[in-house]
Amino acid sequence: MKKTTINILFSAQMGCLIAIMTPLLVCDSDSSRGNNGSPENPTVTQDVCAAFNGGSGSLCEDFNGETIDPAIWQVANWQEETLTSPDRCYIENGVLKMILVNSPSNGFLGAAIQTWSEFGYGRWEARLKPTSIRGALNSFFTIDWNDTDNPGDGDGTKEEIDIEFLTNSFGEDSGEVHFAVHEYGSTSFNTNPDIDLEFNPSDEPHVWGFEITPDQIQWFVDGSVLQTYTYSGNPISIDEPYQLKLNVWTQNGGWVGGPPEENVECIYQIDWITFTPYTG
């Protein structure tokens, strides 16, 4: 595996993190921006980072500052599936909010955020509340976009591990979640059909996550494993440094089944995110 010195230095084996990292601080209409605990604002877990002990190379972000920390996060201001903007990605009352709007005059307006640092094997967890508005996609995923020898030129492996919420699947006490592993030029693993849930992910926050090891990937919610992907016998093995990314977007029809209703704010809410490095 290649080395990187973007906050964390990786050894030749992805499972070994050399501890020289710099410190890390590391849509009902969803448009109402109310007080903590309202349907539009999940109850905030204020002390998650105070209680977190992930060890060397870990990350804990509880979004309790007034603004997004620019040393940790790059807030998108470019065209992806939608036009992103920092205006639609902000902290309010200890929650990161990412906004999607289907604007009749300006098109699809979304949001995205990603770490500057790259990471290796370990366990990601985040307390998430997707929008309830139909026709949106809310994601929590990894992406190896850049070869670390030449940052910024987009020549990485495109290895990717996904948690994706397609809100068209949400119903009363039910829903689906999509898990996937991608690599450029390889046959992707996708949950097909997607994982059925006995709850609506937009009704209240849940702790979602995945653990990446030298042998497999497991996805889980609230501590219960929902899916396991083993590298043995499959076309993709995750072995390159990657960034963590979250976004909210839509499209006309297609897989997402968008767009949402016009001029309705669809709010994707992130209470906290943690990363615990693999030590096996």
Nearest to 274 by CA among 126, 117, 112, 53: 126
Q: Domain holding 254: CATH number?
A: 2.60.120.200
Q: So what's the pLDDT on residue 145?
A: 81
Q: Which residue has the higher pLDDT, 41 or 182?
A: 182
Number of folded domains that form the chain: 1
Contacts of 166 by beta carbon, 8 Å cutoff, 6+ apart: 136, 137, 176, 178, 194, 255, 256, 257
38 lies in some domain = yes
pTM above 0.75? yes
18 lies in some domain = no
Average pLDDT of the residues of the chain: 85
Strand-pair partners of 275: 59, 124
211 lies in some domain = yes
Q: Is the pLDDT of residue 164 over 90?
A: yes
Q: So what's the pLDDT on residue 16?
A: 38
16 lies in some domain = no
Give me 119's structure tokens: 């990471």
Span 10-19, pLDDT tens digits: 333 344 333 3
4 lies in some domain = no
Task: Decide the pairing of beta strands 107-115 and 122-129.
Answer: unpaired
125 lies in some domain = yes
Average pLDDT over residues 217-228: 98
* Residues 238, 260: Cα–Cα separation, whole Å: 34
Span 56-74, pLDDT tens digits: 999 999 999 999 999 999 9
**Helices and strands (H and E) in the chain: how many:** 1, 20
Average pLDDT over residues 18-45: 41
153 confidence band (pLDDT: 50, 70, 90): low
Burial class of residue 12, CB neighbours in 10 A (0-12, 13-18, 19+): exposed
Task: Report in angstroms the alpha-carbon separations of 203 from 72, 115, 260.
Answer: 29, 27, 18
Average pLDDT over residues 8-31: 36
With tokens 């603004």, the residue in question is 67
Q: So what's the pLDDT on residue 149?
A: 57
List the domain range (segments joined by +) for residue 160: 25-277
In percent, how much of the chain has pLDDT > 70? Answer: 80
> Is-contact 38 44, C-beta < 8 A?
no
Q: So what's the pLDDT on residue 154?
A: 65
Average pLDDT over residues 193-218: 97
Average pLDDT over residues 235-248: 95
E strands, 68-215, in order: 73-75, 83-84, 89-92, 95-103, 107-115, 122-129, 137-143, 160-166, 175-182, 189-190, 195-197, 206-212
Grouping H, G, I as helix, E, B as strand and the rest as coil, residue 131 is coil
11 lies in some domain = no
Span 166-190, pLDDT tens digits: 999 999 999 999 999 999 888 999 9
Q: What is the chain's alpha carbon radius of gyration, rounded to the nearest angstrom?
A: 18
17 lies in some domain = no
3-state helix, strand, coil in the chain (%, to 5): 5, 40, 55
> Is-contact 120 21, C-beta < 8 A?
no
Q: Which of 5-9, 104-108, 142-146, 271-275 has the lowest mean pLDDT?
A: 5-9
